[in-house]
């Protein structure tokens, strides 16, 4: 992987990007925003604006944390690939070799990583609980229930790509079974602890006093849909003219959507990967390889990433979104840069298109 040198990186002009974020995104698309660009040498652009808490008028700063939702899957993927490096997992082994659930032999670790195993797209939207209920939540009991309960196969394994939260729940169980550690403890010890984070930065699975409140734009189709899917009386909080607030809640499936972090910490994780720290260079390159269906057609999915061209630049990315939050992590390998965007608003399809559009404002300004 080529790494952009510091002198070139410092020559970039991010004025157009900042103006766009100020005028079009912060306070309009989302109450609060973190947008960060970094390369292997450090942070190149660090934007923090808007409100972490509208009611209390608490501003977003660099220490503000947001829920990662599905971007957490990148940490699960890294955990799997570390164990592959150690010879403890073979990507093409049946997943059943590493779990108590006996899946068909053609459901391999690789196919779960690249979402071609055939598992249901079940979003687990209702698999949540309030922070105050967490002391009574038993994660082991949840896993014992969820793993056999949601394991329905909805299409022939390897036929196509179908995004599956359940698949990454299985992978998190494999990390735990193979390492002999609880999933959360493994991530903390072998990924987070290796990043050299400063005290103010955090990647974890628990709310802190730095976690932004989550919101949803009112009078939108998304707001209507979530109002149908979740218990409004239980999970909705304060609302303003434009925003419906959420109470603090946890996603029960840690391995597919439980992460909470600030953008600096997520960028540190990506910088570590670019510098071949927690994964060897060859392993990282393996995660970037486009995967092949049974039909020999190429998927846009890799081992844990999505692949896309942005202004003819190759990128690998993973979004994360759900009730109250939206984020995306994207690596541009040939440019040697990573971009992290985090917002405290429910993710929409429009957000996914917007992330790439915003990147075009800075990619060619050198």
Residue spans of the domains in the chain: they are 6-363
- The tens digit of pLDDT for each residue in 186-232 reads 999 999 999 999 999 999 999 999 999 999 999 999 999 999 999 99
Strands (E), 19-138: 32-39, 42-53, 58-59, 66-69, 128-130
Bridge partners (DSSP) of residue 197 are none
- 366 — pLDDT class (breaks 50, 70, 90): low
Mean pLDDT value across the chain: 93
- The tens digit of pLDDT for each residue in 69-90 reads 999 999 999 999 999 999 999 9
Choose among 263, 260, 242, 323: nearest CA to 54. Answer: 242
Quote the CA–CA distance of 77 and 343 in Å, as a whole number: 23
**Exposed (0-12), middle (13-18) or buried (19+): which is 227, by Cβ within 10 Å?**
middle
CB atoms within 10 A of CB 130: 14
Choose among 298, 342, 297, 337: nearest CA to 316. Answer: 337
Whole-number percent of the chain with pLDDT over 90: 84
Residue 141: partners with Cβ closer than 8 Å, 6 or more residues away:
none
Whole-model pTM: value is 0.94
The dihedral built from the CA positions of residue 130, 132, 138 and 139, taken in this order, carries a sign that is positive
Distances (CA, A) of 19 to 15, 24, 59, 260, 364: 6, 8, 18, 27, 16
The full 3-state SS of 222-269, as one line of letters, equals: HHHHHHHHCCHHHHEEEECCCEEEECCEEECCHHHHCEEECHHHHHHH
Quote the CA–CA distance of 2 and 308 in Å, as a whole number: 18
Length of the chain as a residue count: 366
- 40 — pLDDT class (breaks 50, 70, 90): confident
Q: Please state which CATH number belongs to domain 6-363.
A: 3.40.710.10
Quote the CA–CA distance of 331 and 341 in Å, as a whole number: 12
């Amino acid at each position: 992987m080529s790494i952009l040198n510091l002198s070139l990186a410092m020559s970039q002009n991010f004025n157009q990007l900042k103006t766009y974020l100020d005028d079009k995104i912060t306070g309009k698309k989302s109450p609060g925003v973190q947008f960060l660009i970094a390369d292997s040498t450090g942070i190149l652009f660090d934007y923090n604006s808007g409100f972490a808490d509208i009611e209390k008028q608490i501003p977003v700063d660099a220490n503000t944390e947001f829920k990662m939702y599905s971007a957490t899957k990148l940490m699960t993927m890294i955990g799997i690939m570390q164990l592959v490096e150690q010879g403890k997992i073979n990507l093409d082994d049946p997943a059943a070799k590493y779990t108590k659930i006996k899946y068909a032999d053609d459901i391999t670790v690789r196919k779960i990583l690249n979402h071609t195993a055939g598992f249901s797209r079940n979003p687990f939207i209702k698999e949540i609980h309030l922070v105050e209920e967490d002391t009574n939540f038993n994660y082991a009991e949840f896993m014992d229930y969820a793993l056999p309960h949601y394991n329905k196969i909805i299409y022939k394994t390897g036929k196509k790509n179908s995004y599956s939260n359940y698949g990454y729940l299985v992978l998190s169980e494999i990390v735990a079974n193979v390492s002999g550690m609880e999933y959360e403890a493994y991530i903390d010890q072998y990924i987070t602890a290796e990043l050299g984070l400063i005290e103010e930065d955090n990647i974890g699975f628990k709310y802190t006093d730095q976690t932004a409140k989550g919101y949803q734009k009112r009078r939108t189709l998304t707001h209507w849909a979530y109002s149908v899917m979740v218990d409004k009386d239980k999970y909705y909080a304060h609302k303003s003219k434009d925003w419906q607030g959420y109470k603090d809640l946890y996603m029960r499936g840690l391995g597919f959507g439980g992460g909470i972090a600030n953008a600096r910490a997520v960028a540190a994780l990506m910088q570590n990967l670019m510098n071949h720290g927690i994964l060897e260079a060859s392993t990282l390159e393996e995660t970037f390889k486009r995967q092949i269906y049974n039909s020999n057609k190429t998927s846009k999915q890799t081992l844990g990433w999505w692949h896309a061209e942005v202004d003819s630049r190759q990128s690998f990315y993973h979004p994360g979104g759900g009730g109250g939050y939206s984020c995306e992590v994207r690596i541009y390998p040939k440019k040697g840069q990573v971009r992290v965007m985090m917002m405290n608003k429910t993710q929409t399809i429009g957000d996914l298109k917007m992330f790439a559009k915003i990147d075009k404002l800075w990619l060619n300004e050198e």
